[in-house]
């Protein structure tokens, strides 16, 4: 099936976005919808004391801001900031919605994409509900593997997100120091390896450490829109 970026060549605009550029501000009424062609954006809000609270990431094939696009909010709930040099497709919301509605295959594809995102969010919430940092990180690794991972060999997943320990800690509500300590523990147990380019996650070892077979049937490679 053709992607949205292929179906909208004359009704959309490609735009390069520099690292640390903010495309949308919390509370802003967006002028356009965005589809990520390359790179990574973080979605976050600012708390009452100005602290950054990361809620997730948007990578290749993701669209944002979803709640505004589908008419659930009149403004953006979060900031959307580029974590690295990126490229997006911009399109007017009515054009995007008309295309989805008039293209049955694309409509089904968007439905699958939304369900995939919803499943990932449930896993993220499960991680945040844990009281111990070790369990938070184990489940967050599973979420990252499910939502952003690519299987490069049987049971081995690359997550190409350039996340600092501070950013990852913010995603879980943990300090940088605690995050660093727990990442080191997972590395020693050969559950993950990581460097400045991202993570390598070993699914079998991760599931063994979790001791929970309920996640083992999840299909990891979900649909993208770009």
Q: pLDDT for 114-162, tens place per residue? A: 888 888 888 889 998 999 999 999 999 999 998 889 999 999 999 999 8
217 — pLDDT class (breaks 50, 70, 90):
low
How large is the average pLDDT for residues 172-195? 94
CATH number of the domain located at residue range(s) 132-215 in this protein: 1.10.10.10
pLDDT band at 196 (very low <50, low <70, confident <90, very high): confident
Residues 6+ apart with CB under 8 A from 31: none
Find the range with the poorest average confidence among 92-96, 172-176, 212-216.
212-216
Contact 111, 184 (CB under 8 A): no
Q: What is the mean pLDDT of the chain?
A: 89
Model pTM score: 0.85
On the question of pLDDT at 197 being above 70, the answer is yes
- Over residues 90-113, mean pLDDT: 90
pLDDT of residue 116: 84
**Polymer length in residues for the chain:** 226
Predicted confidence band of residue 223 (pLDDT cuts 50, 70, 90): low
Q: What is the CATH number of domain 4-102?
A: 2.60.120.10
Which of 139, 133, 131 is CA-nearest to residue 182?
133
- CB 120: neighbour CB atoms within 10 A? 19
Q: Which helix (H) or strand (E) holds 135?
A: helix 133-148
30-79, pLDDT tens digit by residue? 999 999 999 999 999 988 888 888 999 999 989 999 999 999 999 999 99
Mean pLDDT of all residues in 91-102: 92
What is the DSSP-derived secondary structure letter of residue 215?
G
| pLDDT at residue 191 tops 60 | yes
pLDDT for the residue 8: 74
What mean pLDDT do residues 10-22 have? 93
Taking every pair of Cα atoms in the chain, the longest distance, rounded to a whole number of angstroms, is 52
- Residue 210 scores a pLDDT above 90: no
CA distance 56 to 138: 17
Domain boundaries, the chain: 4-102, 132-215
Pairing type for strands 41-46 and 12-17 reads: unpaired
Query: In this model, does residue 80 exceed pLDDT 80?
Result: yes
Q: What is the spatial distance between Cα 14 and Cα 16, in angstroms, rounded to a whole number? A: 7
DSSP one-letter code for 213: G
Q: Is the pLDDT of residue 99 over 70?
A: yes
């Amino acid at each position: 099936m053709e992607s949205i970026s292929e179906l909208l060549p004359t009704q959309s605009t490609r735009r390069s976005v520099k690292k640390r550029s903010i495309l949308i501000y919390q509370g802003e009424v967006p002028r356009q919808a965005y589809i990520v062609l390359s790179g990574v954006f973080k979605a976050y809000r600012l708390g009452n004391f100005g602290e950054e609270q990361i809620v997730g990431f948007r990578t290749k094939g993701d669209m944002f801001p979803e709640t505004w696009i589908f008419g659930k909010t009149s403004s953006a709930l979060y900031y959307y900031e580029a974590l690295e040099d990126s490229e997006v497709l911009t399109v007017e919301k009515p054009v995007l919605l008309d295309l989805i509605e008039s293209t049955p295959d694309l409509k089904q594809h968007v439905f699958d994409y939304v369900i995939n995102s919803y499943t990932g969010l449930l896993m993220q919430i499960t991680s945040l509900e844990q009281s111990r940092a070790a369990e938070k990180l184990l489940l967050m690794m599973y979420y990252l593997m499910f939502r952003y991972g690519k299987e490069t060999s049987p049971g081995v997943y690359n997550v190409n997100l350039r996340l600092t320990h501070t950013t990852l800690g913010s995603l879980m509500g943990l300090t940088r120091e605690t995050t660093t300590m727990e990442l080191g523990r997972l590395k020693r147990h050969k559950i993950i390896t990581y460097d400045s380019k991202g993570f390598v996650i070993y699914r079998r070892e991760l599931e063994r450490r979790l001791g929970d077979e309920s996640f083992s049937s999840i299909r990891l490679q979900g649909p993208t829109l770009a």
